């Protein structure tokens, strides 16, 4: 077990090193105008503007964001933005997981619910994020309950949850339906109620299906958050930072990459946090694992 | 209770399955059978003759198409809700995430027995099946015979007056099987439960049963009942002439019934 984990980390590091070697290798060997076939640039230019050196990108992290007096150092600004986005993504993930589970339970409980809801669940994912972002924002701002004010970050969380609930709903339903007929019969013989069956049989059986879905939901929530930050125009997170810094690309190419590192960091952290959930659930993964 | 002398009463029961393609399978036709309290009754017959179906009807896992079943004078549904029977299937069906002890305690837990009561009972049962040292193991760490023993202990956890067992030893090798049969005899003598036991091993049925019910397929029906009254069911019985007579009697009835029954179906229950 322990050896496996260390090997995993080593392979991960090897992957990062390989990516870095590829970057610098291509930059060193390919012509400055990139690889052009006819009129078409099939591989990118290798100028310092298009592909800064890795060490330049890293070094840039330790300079201030702007030349203005009192500006934060870049890595700190990126870290704050990443934490902000991670917070929203986590909230979106939570909402998505809860609503995905509730949907799956409804669909498991009532067959008609499954045939009525499942097509919509699938269909919902074909609507592009860019299209729903303004809608969510508009609907949100129409909500007035007492002193409650809908804010943009809430729209972003809702959109992240919209992407996160899908894998959870589908996998949870599959998992809830996974117990053998004989086990279901056994619970019927015990005159166990629906909820008892859920808690003692169906949810435990669903764990091996749920863990990958939770991971996928986390990745979706992160992507959803970053894209929605851009579409909604929410400042403070990594999404807006990517757009803002891209505007300065010609003058300060290395800076563009800093928020992208931030986005990668969010992805890593969220994946790590979700796999922590799996640690406590080892006993539910005994016996035959699903394909 | 109602003072009724029968554990299970099956009267003129019919069971017809409608398949999705619109066909009909006549799984049971005019089946009648009484099981007395404490009596061990085996159902034997070729695959597809409705043994599992009959057991599932008694357990209220399925409903009759015609006729009537009573369990301790109640409807099967009421008997199920009152937990009047314990049940074990061919596949042990232990929950893989639960330890041996937690599997045995499952019905007690579902029915709200407190932790102390559960532990007392599971200690007793673990001793009974000789798996005290495996209480904290998980099913994937057990052999087939051990798993089946756990499943039987689980079926007995609530001291039911009726045990329903569908080929519980079907997946075991011959050695383990005989050993388990001896244990089951001992357990039944201790608890005095009535047993409805599905098997397709003739020696197994003869060794265990007070009565062997012989069934034949298409439509599933009872073709005869062999009464066995052995003085004692122990290892000596397996070599006894009376035992062989019983085996011959069942086999004769079975083959008489099977003549003209056509090819056997595939056993899947
Ligand atoms: N749920 C079901 N739907 C349709 N047919 C069934 C179902 N269960 C059993 N049968 C049919 O009923 C007959 C009796 O089955 P079963 O009781 O399992 O036989 P046995 O246990 O004696 O092998 C078989 O022909 C089987 O195909
Ligand atoms: Mg069967």
How many domains, in total, are found in chain A? 2
Q: Residue A7: inside a domain, yes or no?
A: yes
Within 8 A of B91 by CB-CB distance, chain A residues are 180, 182
Nearest CA in chain B to A287: B96
Is B89 an interface residue toward A (CB < 8 Å)? yes
How far, in Å, from the CA of B169 to the mean position of ligand 2? 12
Q: Residue A123: inside a domain, yes or no?
A: yes
**A38 and A75 assigned to the same domain:** no
What are residue A148's phi and psi, to 5 degrees?
A: -70, 130
**A248 and A149 assigned to the same domain:** yes
Arithmetic mean of pLDDT, A189-211: 92
Q: Residue A201: inside a domain, yes or no?
A: yes
**A251 and A204 assigned to the same domain:** yes
**A104 and A170 assigned to the same domain:** yes
**A220 and A162 assigned to the same domain:** yes
**A278 and A164 assigned to the same domain:** yes
**A120 and A243 assigned to the same domain:** yes
Cβ <8 Å between B89 and A182: yes
Using CB atoms, pick whichever of B61, B106, B107 lies closest to residue A188. B61
Q: Residue B203: inside a domain, yes or no?
A: yes
Q: Residue A291: inside a domain, yes or no?
A: no
Q: Residue B138: inside a domain, yes or no?
A: no
How many domains, in total, are found in chain B? 1
The closest of B79, B40, B37, B41 to B57, measured between CA atoms, is B79
Q: Residue B39: inside a domain, yes or no?
A: yes
- Supply the CATH number for residue A85's domain: 1.10.3720.10
Q: Ligand 1, from B20, B22, B28, B50: best to mutate by most atoms within 8 Å of Cβ?
A: B50
Q: Is A188 exposed, middle or buried (0-12, 13-18, 19+ CB in 10 A)?
A: middle
pLDDT above 50: residue B36: yes
Q: Residue A194: inside a domain, yes or no?
A: yes
User: Which residue segment(s) compose the domain that A10 sits in?
Assistant: 1-51
Q: Residue B109: inside a domain, yes or no?
A: no
Model ipTM?
0.85
Ligand 1 close to Cβ of residue B35 (< 6 A): no
**A208 and A169 assigned to the same domain:** yes
**A260 and A120 assigned to the same domain:** yes
Q: Residue A60: inside a domain, yes or no?
A: no
The closest of A116, A112, A125, A229 to A168, measured between CA atoms, is A125
Arithmetic mean of pLDDT, B111-116: 91
Ligand 1 close to Cβ of residue B220 (< 6 A): yes
Name the pairing type of β-strands B24-35 and B211-216: unpaired
How far, in Å, from the CA of B220 to the mean position of ligand 1? 9
- pLDDT (tens digit, 9 = 90+) per residue, A215-266? 999 999 999 999 988 888 888 888 888 888 888 877 788 888 888 889 999 9
- pLDDT (tens digit, 9 = 90+) per residue, B199-252? 988 889 988 898 999 998 888 888 888 888 776 777 777 777 777 888 888 888
Q: Residue B2: inside a domain, yes or no?
A: no
User: Which residue segment(s) compose the domain that B38 sits in?
Assistant: 8-94+160-260
Q: Residue B180: inside a domain, yes or no?
A: yes
Within 8 A of B102 by CB-CB distance, chain A residues are none
- Supply the CATH number for residue B62's domain: 3.40.50.300
Name the pairing type of β-strands B24-35 and B8-18: antiparallel
> What pTM, to 2 d.p., does this model score?
0.83
Task: Please give the DSSP secondary-structure letter assigned to residue A168.
Answer: H
Predicted pLDDT of residue B98: 93
**A38 and A104 assigned to the same domain:** no
**A6 and A94 assigned to the same domain:** no
**A44 and A100 assigned to the same domain:** no
Q: Residue A78: inside a domain, yes or no?
A: yes
pLDDT above 70: residue B258: no
Q: Residue A290: inside a domain, yes or no?
A: no
User: Which residues, 6+ apart, have CB-to-CB distance to B189 below 8 Å?
Assistant: none
How far, in Å, from the CA of A278 to the mean position of ligand 1? 40
C-alpha–C-alpha distance, residues B130 and B124, integer Å: 10
C-alpha–C-alpha distance, residues A43 and A33, integer Å: 9
């Amino acid at each position: 077990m322990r050896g496996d984990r260390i090997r995993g980390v080593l392979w991960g590091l090897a992957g990062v090193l390989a990516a870095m070697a590829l970057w610098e290798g291509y930059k060193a060997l390919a012509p400055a105008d990139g690889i052009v076939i006819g009129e078409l640039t099939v591989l990118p230019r290798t100028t310092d503007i298009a592909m800064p050196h890795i060490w330049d990108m890293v070094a840039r992290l330790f300079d201030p964001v702007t030349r203005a007096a009192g500006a934060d150092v870049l890595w700190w600004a990126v870290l704050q933005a990443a934490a902000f986005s991670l917070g929203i993504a986590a909230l979106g993930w939570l909402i998505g997981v809860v609503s995905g589970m509730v949907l799956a339970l409804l669909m498991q409980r009532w067959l008609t619910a499954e045939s009525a809801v499942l097509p919509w669940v699938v269909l919902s994912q074909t609507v592009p994020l860019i299209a729903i972002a303004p809608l969510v924002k508009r609907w949100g701002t129409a909500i007035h309950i007492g002193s409650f004010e809908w804010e943009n970050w809430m729209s972003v969380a809702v959109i992240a949850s919209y992407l996160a609930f899908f894998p959870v709903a589908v996998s949870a339903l599959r998992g809830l339906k996974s117990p053998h007929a004989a086990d279901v019969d056994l619970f019927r013989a015990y005159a166990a109620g629906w909820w008892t069956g859920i808690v003692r049989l169906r949810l435990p059986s669903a764990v091996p299906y749920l863990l990958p879905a939770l991971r996928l939901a986390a990745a979706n929530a992160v992507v959803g958050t970053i894209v929605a930050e851009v579409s909604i125009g929410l400042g403070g997170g990594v999404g807006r930072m990517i757009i803002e810094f891209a505007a300065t690309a010609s003058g300060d190419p290395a800076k563009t990459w800093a928020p992208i590192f931030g986005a990668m960091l969010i992805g890593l952290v969220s994946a790590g946090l979700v796999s922590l959930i799996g640690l406590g659930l080892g006993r539910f993964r005994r016996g035959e694992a699903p394909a | 209770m109602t003072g009724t002398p029968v554990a299970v009463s099956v009267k003129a029961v019919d069971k017809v399955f409608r398949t999705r393609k619109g066909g009909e399978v006549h799984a049971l036709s005019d089946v009648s059978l009484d099981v007395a309290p404490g009596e061990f009754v085996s159902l034997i017959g070729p695959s597809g003759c409705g043994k599992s179906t009959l057991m599932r009807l008694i357990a209220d896992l399925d409903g009759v198409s015609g006729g009537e079943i009573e369990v301790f004078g109640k409807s099967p549904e009421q008997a199920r809700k009152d937990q009047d029977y314990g049940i074990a299937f061919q596949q042990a069906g232990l929950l893989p995430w639960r330890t041996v002890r937690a599997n045995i305690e499952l019905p007690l837990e579902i029915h709200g027995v407190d932790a102390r009561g559960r532990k007392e009972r599971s200690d007793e049962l673990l001793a009974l099946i000789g798996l005290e040292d495996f209480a904290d193991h998980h099913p994937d760490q057990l052999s087939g015979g051990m798993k089946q023993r756990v499943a039987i202990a689980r079926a007995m956890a609530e001291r039911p007056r009726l045990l329903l067992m569908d080929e519980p030893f079907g997946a075991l090798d011959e050695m383990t099987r005989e050993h388990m049969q001896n244990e089951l005899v001992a357990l039944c003598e201790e608890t005095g439960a009535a047993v409805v036991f599905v098997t397709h091993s003739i020696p197994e049925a003869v060794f265990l049963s007070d009565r062997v019910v012989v069934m034949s397929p298409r439509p599933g029906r009872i073709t005869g009942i062999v009464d066995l009254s052995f003085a004692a069911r122990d290892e000596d019985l397996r070599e006894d002439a009376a035992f062989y007579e019983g085996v011959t009697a069942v086999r004769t009835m079975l083959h008489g019934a099977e003549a003209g029954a056509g090819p056997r179906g595939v056993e899947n229950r």
